[in-house]
Amino acid sequence: MHGLVNRAIEGFVRGCYGPQMWHDIAREAGLGFDEFEAMLHYDDALTDRVLERLADRLDQPVPMILENLGHYLVADPKAGAVRRLLRFGGAGFVDFLHSLDDLPDRARLAVDDLELPELVLHTAPRGRFSLICRGAHPGYPHVMIGILRAMADDYGSLATIEDAGPVPGGRRISVALVETAFAEARAFDLGGAERSGP
Amino acid sequence: MTGGLVPALDRLCPMHLQMDEHGIIRHAGPSLCKLRPGAGLVGQPFLDVIGLRRAAAPVDLPSLLARAGEPLHLRFRAPPRTDFKGVLVTGLPGMAALVNLSFGIGIREAVQDYDLTVADFAATDLAVEMLYLIEANAAAMAASRNLKTRLQGAMIAAEERAFTDTLTGLRNRRAMDRVLDRMIGDGRHFALMHVDLDYFKAVNDTHGHAAGDHVLQEVARAMVAVTRAEDTVARVGGDEFVILFDRLDDRTRLDDVARRLIGRLEQPILWQGRKLQISASAGTALSRAYAVPDAERLLADADTALYAAKRAGRAQHMFFDPAMARMGQGAEPLPDASRA
């Protein structure tokens, strides 16, 4: 598993549950170190052990933890670049949904060894979409659900986003758009100026 | 200009402008208007608002129009002096010329200066992809730099460990070899002192390895105390040490250091209420005695001097003398027990 993904999990645990929690998880999972390096690769088994330990400690199922992780990556200011990079996908939530097909290729332009899940969007009538998410790791679709919910909020859109069950090699995520201008979108400045604001 | 064409042009080229035969801007695309709001563009002479970069001579309207179809490098005359890439075409109905502009490599600054959004770029424009890449690349580079810094720190720590004798904290054989090679390579004068403990084996045999380890640590302390910071003190064997004195080859001073060291090492070392007694002998070779100093040769000659010192009755220090080598050739090697 790419270090960036592991690093995201680590950041999520540190940010939401504190450094001590992360320290304990790292020890219990037998990582042998306290910090993932974003630019290295790690055995998938390490990632799975971290998630298992986390599920045990939080008494939550792994898919729920992964949804929260996805939400954190977009919604928490501490999480850094993910939200901004996703917002480059389009001016509105629907544009953004259509940009997801390109997401793995976009990510590879910046980090060529980062394998993101394959995403295929199917459009249905009346603001309904289904997103097929197939990844090397079965956890990706759950992270994606969290990301999509947070991005809908970010764009000020009201949408229900749910896990619609397994498909070969991945899962189907259903997106039902209720309103595209439900709330005011969070500011997105192409040049990155909003980060220097108060 | 045909009415239907203007909205199409505004959509396809939101950064274009149209000028009449006098060079006056008659229309500007919506994104360009955002850069110079109000009367900043329309009604102004094009060449008053925008200048040509990399132009050999001042450009007037005919010479500008003559460059139709060529890539142009342009710049706003008033701040913010945004740079543009552009191309001018003629022959369209209702206008003398159309100039289409783009930000080129300065896109990041332009977007910040003018607060542009995704909607300000043509749907086919790669500007947003470019901005995305700039940002994604910066984030990836930051992560890489972070890793490099940490790896470098780890490498320095590993090297430090690789060059350190763990028991005494002195340099080890590998470190000594490196320093010696460097001194020779730099052509510096130096002295190489080989120090060998006497009676150390007896301490080890009688009081055990813990006592021996304690003695070695005390010896290391003494060696560091009598040498300068720029000297290299290395433990090169069980009870053998080499000291490299950088830029020091004064016999009187070196002999003084050796005697002070031996004097200190002859002081009983306290260990768990017991007094441990050792001594030491030393032999020194000076780099300036050789036309071309050689590490092996210097080590061997210091060793010869050391054994001459031992034969002379221990607790002695001697400088290497070529005569020793000749004497040493026929001499019986010292039995191991007497070395300890």
For residue range A84-130, what is the model confidence (pLDDT) as tens digits? 888 888 888 999 999 999 899 888 888 889 889 999 999 999 999 99
Residues of B in contact with A85 (CB under 8 A): 132, 135-136, 139
Tell the residue number behind the tokens 């972070």, with chain if given.
Answer: B146
Q: Could you tell me the pTM of the whole model?
A: 0.67
Query: Which residue on chain A is closest to B128 by alpha carbon?
Result: A88
Residue B308 near residue B328 (C-beta atoms within 8 A):
yes
Within a 13 Å sphere around the CA of B188, how many CA atoms are in the beta-carbon half? 15
CB contacts, 8 Å: B119 with chain A: 91
pLDDT at B61: 94
Distance between CA atoms of residues B329 and B312, nearest Å: 16
| Burial bucket for residue B322 (CB in 10 Å: 0-12, 13-18, 19+) | exposed
CA distance A8 to A24: 17
Asked if A88 is an interface residue toward chain B (Cβ–Cβ < 8 A), one would say: yes
Q: Per-residue confidence at B146, pLDDT binned at 50, 70, 90?
A: confident
pLDDT of residue A193: 55
What span, in angstroms and rounded, lies between the C-alpha atoms of B280 and B218?
Answer: 13
CATH topology of domain B173-339: Alpha-Beta Plaits (3.30.70)
Q: Do A185 and A143 form a contact (C-beta atoms < 8 A)? A: no
- What is the reported pLDDT for B337? 39
Interface predicted TM-score (ipTM):
0.73
pLDDT for position B21: 95
Asked if pLDDT for residue B105 goes beyond 90, the answer is no
Mean predicted confidence (pLDDT) in A173-183: 88
Task: Give the C-alpha separation, A96 to B209, whole Å.
Answer: 71
Q: Among partner residues A40, A88, A193, which is closest to B132 by beta-carbon distance?
A: A88
Half-sphere exposure of B70 (CA within 13 A, CB side): 11
**Is residue B328 over pLDDT 70?**
no
Going from N- to C-terminal start, the domains of chain B cover: 5-124, 173-339
Q: What is the DSSP string of B97-135?
A: EEEEEE-GGGHHHHHHHHT--GGGS-TT--HHHHHHHHH
Which residues, listed in sequence order, are joined to residue B233 by a DSSP beta bridge? Answer: B243
For domain B5-124, give the CATH superfamily: Haem NO binding associated domain (3.30.450.260)
Three-state DSSP state, B70: coil
Considering only CB atoms, A84 lies closest to which of B111, B135, B143, namely: B135
C-alpha span between A154 and A52 (Å, rounded): 30
pLDDT digits (tens, 9 = 90+) for B149-181: 888 988 989 988 899 999 999 999 999 999 999
- For residue B268, cis peptide bond before it (omega within 30 degrees of 0): no
- Confidence (pLDDT) at A196: 37
The DSSP 8-state label assigned to residue B340 in this structure reads -
